[in-house]
Amino acid sequence: MKQLFTALLMTIVLLPAYAQEAPPQDKFPKEKEEFLGELNAATKLLVQKKYSEAETALRTLRKKDITRSTWGKASFNLGFSLRMANKYLESIEVFQEIIASDVNDKEPSPNMMEHFMNYRHKSCWEISLNYELLEEYEKALHYMQQADSKHPFQDADLCGSCSARAKKSLEQRVQFLKSKATEKRTGDL
């Protein structure tokens, strides 16, 4: 009986810490099934490494009258597809569009390990990766610093260790890029 009481008390005490406030329904309008099907089909092409076909499907979808949420997902997948196809400058342009757009970084994520979509933070990472592949380390570093300062990772603070790991990963990448930028500057002299 004491164990049951303790478990019940722990649930009552801890439940508010785990509960997320549900966003208002009108904040994330429901997408038409037709467009969700197109997004899923394009994503399947991406997973199959059919980058050219995925690019075409995602560019076509982005031109339609879709919700901001679907636009954000389609745009992110397009940018990723372009990077995987070695179209780094085009990829950077798409991720810069995301950063400048009105996507909602706190849109609920379908991934149970991440609470929010974090479009801008993830776009900064992607731009940084593209610039690194172009060996433009100063620019890559700039976008990692933007990911930390201007577009920090949004979390519901449900997992302190997850946040700490994400922060450490970002800090390690910044240090790596600083060393690569210094190495390139001293090597270019």
Mind listing the pLDDT tens digit for each residue in 116-141? Answer: 999 999 999 999 999 999 999 999 99
Quick one: tokens of 187? 């090597």
Beta bridge partners of 108: 116
45-70, pLDDT tens digit by residue? 999 999 999 999 999 999 999 999 99
Is residue 28 within 8 Å of 66, Cβ to Cβ? no
For Cα atoms 31, 36, 38, give the angle at the middle one, nearest 5 degrees.
Answer: 140
For residue 140 the two structure tokens come to 């890559």
> How far apart (Å, rounded) are the C-alpha atoms in residues 170 and 178?
12
Residue 79: pLDDT above 70? yes
**Those residues with Cβ within 8 angstroms of residue 45's Cβ, 6 or more apart along the chain or in another chain:** 51, 53, 54, 57
pTM, rounded to two decimals: 0.81
Q: What is the pLDDT of residue 163?
A: 72
pLDDT of amino acid 158: 54
Q: How many residues does the chain have?
A: 189
Closest CA to 143 of 124, 120, 118, 119: 124
Q: How does 104-127 read in b/e, with b if 16+ C-beta sit within 10 Å?
A: bbbbbeeeeebbbbbbbbbbbbbb
Neighbours of 147 (CB within 10 A): 24
- Asked if the model's pLDDT at residue 14 lies above 50, the reply is no
Q: How far apart are alpha carbons 35 and 72 in whole angstroms?
A: 13
Q: What is the DSSP letter of 178?
A: H
Mean pLDDT of 75-94: 98
